[in-house]
Amino acid sequence: MTVREINFDGIIGPSHNYAGLSSGNLASKRNAGAISYPRAAALQGIEKMRGNLRLGLKQGIFLPHWRPDGAWLAQLGTDIGGAEPHLRAAAMSASSMWAANAATVSPASDTADGRTHLTIANLVTMPHRSHEWPQTLAQLQVAFSAKDVFAVHPPIPAPFGDEGAANHMRLSDRHDEAGVEIFVYGQSGGLFPARQHIEASKAVARRHRLDPARTIFARQSDEAIDAGAFHNDVVAVANETVLFAHEHAFADRATFYDALREAMPSVCIIEVPAAEVSLADAIRSYLFNAQLVTLPEGGMALVVPTEARATPRVWRWLEALIAGNGPIRRIIPVDIRQSMANGGGPACLRLRVVADPADIDPRFLVDEARLDRIAAVIAEYWPEQIDPSSLDDTRLIARIEQSWLTLVDHLQLSGDLIP
């Protein structure tokens, strides 16, 4: 058995648009009403995946969701033609592209039954995301169907908000060894809603049958949430023995760091001081919403959006980090500007799963040749641009639906995923 970390990226869907639906997500609100470019967005995502493959990483995909979500609108007593604009926009949202919110994942080495556990996120805090879970569950049940290896759980029930891996970190000396799992939750009362509830995090830990001695619950700071860090992965990221975080990421960082060092003495905490990189700069550049990955040749790379390079104080800090010859050896900028304009960086686009690739449905795994074929479908079928005021255009809707059907048929998943 060959256990590896696999990055599953969400393919950016043909309905990608800027309707500004996400409260607390500053980029989403800032670009509300702007023209989006779904074809360019999806191809940028494909190039990001190519970059991972060229680093020697294992790469998977999740498909866009069927849009518009007519079943959800029907539950609300309407349809895409008759829905009020805010409901129409929610039904057309392509936000499932951010695979970090698909589920929380605990690898087999951490769980009492020796299976990899995945709990689908309920995303109940935001209406446009609250109806994602049925299609996410359907995909993950196909991709991880080996029940002796995987346990795929439905969402935690409302009202306990759960936003998946975006509020979960895992540290271990090796990916395939028992680790320490960290659940980061928020508290309401500030400028923006706290999307991750502690009760949801505790429920996921119980479901996954984690060792309480190797499970930590840490509260995200109100300051970070109010600054626009709507998920923990906007201010912190972890990989193997490294925690990379902003000074103001956690409400009581001293207590959290002490608990982490006790559970895992080998941990290396790299904290970025607020005096050198402000929360505003960290969130504008998505410095921490990066993929921190282990390279096959040793050492780690930080895959950051190009916005990090365009933010001088952030880039200077990263250059100093590399010069220090610590565990992070390379900084790799990627162009995902269409995703960034809606508030999602490299970390948002991927869900990490530690497993044997042979246990996963091969239709969800890709190499460069397969990405070439997917890119060809996107280039031919995805809309070039979308004005969010035109989401009721029947020609646009027909094109979005045909784009999805063509991709799913190309990937030979029509029999499993047709809504």
Tell me which residues are annotated as active site: 163, 231, 348
Are 9 and 350 spatial neighbours (Cβ–Cβ below 8 Å)?
yes
Question: Tokens 């020609």 correspond to what residue?
Answer: 395
- Return the C-alpha torsion angle 334, 335, 336, 341, nearest 10: 120
**First CA to last CA across the chain, in angstroms?**
34
For the chain, helix (H) and strand (E) counts, in that order, are 16, 16
Look at residues 65, 124, 122 and name the one whose alpha carbon lies nearest to residue 91.
65
Look at residues 354, 360, 295, 358 and name the one whose alpha carbon lies nearest to residue 1.
358
Half-sphere exposure of 266 (CA within 13 A, CB side): 10
Task: Give the burial string for 187-213 (b: 16+ CB within 10 Å, else e).
Answer: eeebebebbbbbebbbbbbebbebeee
Cα–Cα distance measured from residue 392 to residue 302, given in angstroms and rounded to the nearest whole number: 40
> Which SS3 state, helix, strand or coil, does residue 254 take?
helix
> Which SS3 state, helix, strand or coil, does residue 92 take?
helix
- What would the 3-class secondary structure string for 98-117 be? CHHHCEEEECHHHECCCCEE
* Cβ within 8 Å of residue 321, ≥6 positions away: 270, 328, 331
**Which strand ranges, in their side-by-side order, compose the sheet holding 180-185?**
168-171, 180-185, 215-219
**Which strand ranges, in their side-by-side order, compose the sheet holding 103-106?**
103-106, 116-120, 150-153
Could you tell me the two tokens for 271?
């904290």
Q: How far, in Å, are 31, 105, 212, 301, 377 from residue 207 at the CA level?
A: 38, 11, 12, 32, 39
The answer, yes or no, to whether the previous bond of 14 is cis (omega within 30 of 0) is: no
- Return the C-alpha torsion angle 231, 233, 234, 239, nearest 10: 170
